[in-house]
């Protein structure tokens, strides 16, 4: 007779078998669940030259950025714009700067170009930002620091896809207090989520933008969503300022001047594998002769470079604090880190004219001992800028490699998709960052249509094929890629670069360089390769027509336009202060003359 199912070992076996069957779909479901999307941290430095990172050749300390470099990949042939806003627009959207509205910046655009298509001087509404794409796919999106892409309510970060943002709408500001760059702006236009914001009393720019980002990440952690954190440092934009302890760290350095530093950095970059050994270098015509400076000039120059190195180290320390927090929270392994600079080193000398020296002397403490400290105003100028971009030629504003080629690091510590400690010498461009990140994160793009309207298509290409083992040398191949800003222009194609620079960096003539073998742009190949030269000039004309590039007015230079902008923006303020200053001197002189006359009359009596 069959044993009843309700008793004995047979019943137990059936129960166990049924449990195993029930468990199988759950196990299969767990195995098939997609991995959690990575967090993304975008670290954007301001005005750092090509060799301003230890892992690219710098002598000052950047151990935390170097650690990211060794945890991921360094790009030694990565290009941006020659100035901040156009780069930031391309970084945010993957669209070329003219088509994104940044054919020029408010501070450098000539009057003749204002209002023309592509010359909005703000990021237009025909583009989609990376924050919008990521938020639509379930990301938390945050931004802290410099924005400089528009200040009206429809153009601030929270209107362009960011859940939370504490941002500066201007090109720069003081690093120790809520103060604008005097002479450029009336106020330091900081806002939080679209409303005017007040900085804390213990504010220092690099520390603040990182702490605010950590606060944002922690505040929404319970949501379980991945985050996109865009941290936009003010370091090392003018004014160069750093904590006293960091400046003291470099008190024995830079005595030999910028030419010696430029040569030393070139050697370190070659030893690191960033640059070819023996890369030839030019001496820029705007670089002063260190040996001809007097003692006081050298002392001030040494001090400003010490402050510059200190400012970079202070920023790096905050990167380390961010990474340490992400390690402690368990986020580090599944976070993609991207570090880059917005353009090459800043060569502007704010004290080049008597007018500027008088005005800045009334606004700041310009004593040599105060350089880099609270209340100071200083800049490294063209001499140290030539060392910061070593071994390249030129610097910010120009279309030279020193203006356009900057350090790029991409790391994803917990993923095998990025080779660790690798260096890529293949050409890459700032418009490639957006498609790279959404590719790695598995987020769809927009294909030229977004939320039912036509938008500018992404111009960049994902760098993912260059990141893994056996990756491509470049995703651009022999395709032409054009660029223009303030009349300085370039056309990249394979290993070659067609370039034109206006004064003071250049003479307005087109030249051709092999930038893989000659990154210092020392050998013009236009005569030796006439067919390539002609073909690439035709490529540039096609780019300029498609992007609505305008010719610059005769005699234009970005440096002079910035000074003109500052004087026009703050003319009344400057004139009043100058008038008071001159008036005060006249009063003192009058009093002195009156006193002398009184004494003379007293003696005669």
Give residue-wise pLDDT tens across range 3-15. Answer: 333 444 444 443 3
Written as six digits, the tokens of 143 are 């931004």
Would you state the pLDDT for residue 569? Answer: 66
The tens digit of pLDDT for each residue in 45-59 reads 999 999 999 999 999
When comparing pLDDT for 33 and 377, which is higher?
377
- Compute the distance between CA of residue 360 and CA of residue 581 in angstroms, rounded to an integer: 12
State what percent of residues in the chain have pLDDT above 90: 83
Would you state the pLDDT for residue 576? Answer: 59
Q: How far is CA 470 from CA 155, 166, 434, 466, in A?
A: 41, 41, 22, 8
Is the pLDDT reported for residue 31 higher than 50? no
Q: How many Cα atoms sit within 13 Å of 249 on the Cβ side? A: 17
Q: How far is CA 276 from CA 267, 511, 516, in A?
A: 10, 22, 9
What DSSP state is assigned to residue 28?
Answer: H
**Residues 215-219: what's their mean pLDDT?**
98
Which of 58, 385, 378 shows the shortest CA–CA distance to 241? 378
The tens digit of pLDDT for each residue in 64-107 reads 999 999 999 999 999 999 999 999 999 999 999 999 999 999 99
* Backbone torsion region of residue 150, taken as left when φ is above 0, otherwise alpha when ψ lies between -120 and 50, otherwise beta: left
The tens digit of pLDDT for each residue in 401-449 reads 999 999 999 999 999 999 999 999 999 999 999 999 999 999 999 999 9
Would you state the pLDDT for residue 564? Answer: 79
Helix axes 258-271, 295-329, angle to 10 degrees: 30
Residue 577 binned pLDDT confidence (cut-offs 50, 70, 90): low
Q: How far is CA 443 from CA 164, 223, 449, in A?
A: 21, 19, 15
Q: Mind giving me the DSSP string for 224-290?
A: ---EEEEEE--TTSSSP---HHHHHHTTT--TT-HHHHHHHHHHHHHHTTSS-TT---PPPTTS--G
- Compute the distance between CA of residue 1 and CA of residue 511 in angstroms, rounded to an integer: 101
3-state secondary structure of 131: helix
When comparing pLDDT for 492 and 573, which is higher?
492
What DSSP state is assigned to residue 180?
Answer: B
Is the pLDDT reported for residue 33 higher than 90? no
The answer to which of 25-34, 482-491, 499-508 has the lowest mean pLDDT is 25-34
Is the bond preceding 504 in cis, omega lying within 30 degrees of 0? yes
Instruction: Please tell me the total number of residues recorded for the chain in this structure.
Output: 605
- Compute the distance between CA of residue 586 and CA of residue 302 in angstroms, rounded to an integer: 36
- Compute the distance between CA of residue 384 and CA of residue 305 in angstroms, rounded to an integer: 7
525 burial via Cβ count (<10 Å: 0-12, 13-18, 19+): middle
How many CB atoms neighbour CB 462 within 10 A?
A: 20
Would you state the pLDDT for residue 25? Answer: 43
Residue 575 binned pLDDT confidence (cut-offs 50, 70, 90): low
**Tokens 């945050």 map to which residue?**
142
Q: Tell the CATH topology of 39-547.
A: Alkaline Phosphatase, subunit A (3.40.720)
- Compute the distance between CA of residue 532 and CA of residue 281 in angstroms, rounded to an integer: 24
When comparing pLDDT for 4 and 173, which is higher?
173
Q: Return mean pLDDT, the chain.
A: 92
- Compute the distance between CA of residue 605 and CA of residue 218 in angstroms, rounded to an integer: 83
**Tokens 């945010």 map to which residue?**
92
192 burial via Cβ count (<10 Å: 0-12, 13-18, 19+): middle
Give the best-scoring range by mean pLDDT among 19-28, 190-199, 564-573.
190-199
Would you state the pLDDT for residue 21? Answer: 38
Would you state the pLDDT for residue 19? Answer: 42
| Bridge pairing between strands 164-168 and 140-146 | parallel
How many CB atoms neighbour CB 191 within 10 A?
A: 19
Would you state the pLDDT for residue 1? Answer: 38
368 burial via Cβ count (<10 Å: 0-12, 13-18, 19+): middle
Written as six digits, the tokens of 213 are 């980002």
Q: Which one from 84, 98, 113, 429 is the annotated catalytic residue? A: 84
- Compute the distance between CA of residue 274 and CA of residue 269 in angstroms, rounded to an integer: 5
**Tokens 């044993």 map to which residue?**
3
3-state secondary structure of 514: strand
Strand (E) or helix (H) holding 321? helix 295-329
The residue extents of the domains of the chain are 39-547
370 burial via Cβ count (<10 Å: 0-12, 13-18, 19+): middle
The answer to which of 139-143, 164-168, 267-271, 550-554 has the lowest mean pLDDT is 550-554
Q: Is 84 a catalytic residue?
A: yes
**Residues 584-600: what's their mean pLDDT?**
75
Would you state the pLDDT for residue 469? Answer: 84
Is the pLDDT reported for residue 34 higher than 70? no
Q: Which one from 79, 98, 113, 148 is the annotated catalytic residue? A: 148
Would you state the pLDDT for residue 3? Answer: 37
Would you state the pLDDT for residue 455? Answer: 98
Residue 592 binned pLDDT confidence (cut-offs 50, 70, 90): confident
- Compute the distance between CA of residue 230 and CA of residue 337 in angstroms, rounded to an integer: 10
Does residue 295 contact residue 255 with C-beta atoms inside 8 Å?
no
Is the pLDDT reported for residue 23 higher than 70? no
């Amino acid at each position: 007779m069959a044993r009843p199912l309700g008793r004995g070992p047979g019943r137990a076996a059936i129960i166990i078998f049924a449990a195993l069957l029930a468990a199988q779909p759950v196990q299969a479901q767990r195995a098939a669940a997609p991995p959690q999307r990575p967090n993304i941290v975008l670290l954007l430095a301001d005005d750092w030259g090509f060799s301003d990172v230890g892992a690219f050749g710098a002598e000052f300390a950047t151990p935390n950025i170097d650690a990211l470099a060794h945890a991921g990949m360094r790009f030694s042939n990565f290009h941006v714009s020659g100035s901040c806003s156009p780069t930031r627009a391309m970084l945010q959207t993957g669209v070329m700067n003219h088509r994104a509205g940044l054919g020029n910046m408010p501070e450098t655009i000539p009057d003749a170009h204002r209002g023309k298509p592509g010359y909005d001087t703000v990021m237009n509404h025909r583009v989609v930002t990376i924050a919008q794409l990521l938020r639509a796919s379930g990301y938390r999106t945050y931004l802290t620091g410099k924005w400089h892409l528009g200040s009206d309510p429809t153009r601030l970060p929270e209107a362009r896809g960011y859940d939370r943002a504490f941002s500066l709408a201007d090109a720069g500001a003081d690093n120790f207090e809520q103060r604008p760059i005097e002479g450029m702006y009336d106020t330091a236009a900081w806002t939080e989520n679209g409303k005017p914001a007040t900085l804390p009393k213990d504010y220092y720019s690099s520390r603040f933008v990182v702490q605010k980002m950590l606060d944002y990440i922690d505040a929404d952690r319970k949501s379980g969503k991945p985050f996109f954190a865009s941290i936009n440092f003010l370091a090392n934009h003018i004014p160069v300022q750093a904590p006293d302890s960091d400046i003291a760290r470099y008190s024995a350095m830079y005595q030999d001047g910028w030419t010696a530093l430029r040569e030393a950095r070139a050697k370190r970059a070659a030893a690191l594998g960033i640059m070819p050994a023996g890369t030839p270098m030019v001496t820029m015509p705007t670089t002063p002769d260190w040996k001809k400076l007097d003692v006081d000039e050298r002392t001030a120059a040494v001090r400003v470079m010490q402050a510059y190195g200190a400012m970079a180290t202070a920023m790096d320390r905050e990167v380390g604090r961010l990474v340490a927090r992400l390690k402690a929270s368990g986020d580090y392994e599944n976070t993609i880190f991207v570090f880059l600079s917005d353009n090459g080193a800043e060569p502007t000398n704010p004290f080049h004219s008597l007018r500027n020296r008088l005005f800045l002397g009334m606004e700041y403490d310009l004593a040599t001992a105060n350089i880099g400290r609270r209340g100071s105003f200083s800049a490294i100028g063209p001499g140290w800028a030539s060392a910061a971009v070593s071994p390249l030629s030129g610097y910010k504003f120009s279309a030279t490699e020193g203006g356009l080629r900057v350090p790029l690091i991409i790391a994803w510590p917990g993923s095998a998709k990025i080779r660790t400690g690798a260096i890529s010498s293949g050409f890459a461009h700032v418009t490639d960052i957006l498609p790279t990140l959404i590719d790695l994160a598995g987020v769809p793009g927009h294909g030229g249509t977004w939320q039912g309207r036509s938008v500018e298509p992404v111009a960049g290409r994902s760098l993912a094929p260059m990141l893994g083992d056996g990756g491509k040398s470049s995703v651009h191949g022999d395709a032409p890629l054009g660029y223009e800003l303030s009349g300085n222009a370039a056309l990249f194609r394979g290993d070659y670069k067609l370039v034109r620079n206006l004064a003071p960096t250049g003479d307005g003539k087109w030249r051709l360089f092999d930038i893989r073998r000659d990154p210092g742009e020392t050998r013009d190949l236009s005569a030796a390769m006439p067919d390539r030269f002609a073909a690439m000039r035709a490529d540039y004309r096609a780019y300029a027509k498609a992007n609505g590039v305008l010719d610059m007015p005769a005699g234009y230079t970005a440096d002079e336009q910035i000074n003109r902008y500052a004087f026009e923006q703050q003319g009344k303020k400057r004139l009043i202060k100058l008038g008071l200053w001159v008036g005060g001197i006249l009063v003192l002189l009058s009093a002195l003359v009156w006193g002398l006359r009184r004494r003379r009359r007293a003696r005669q009596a």
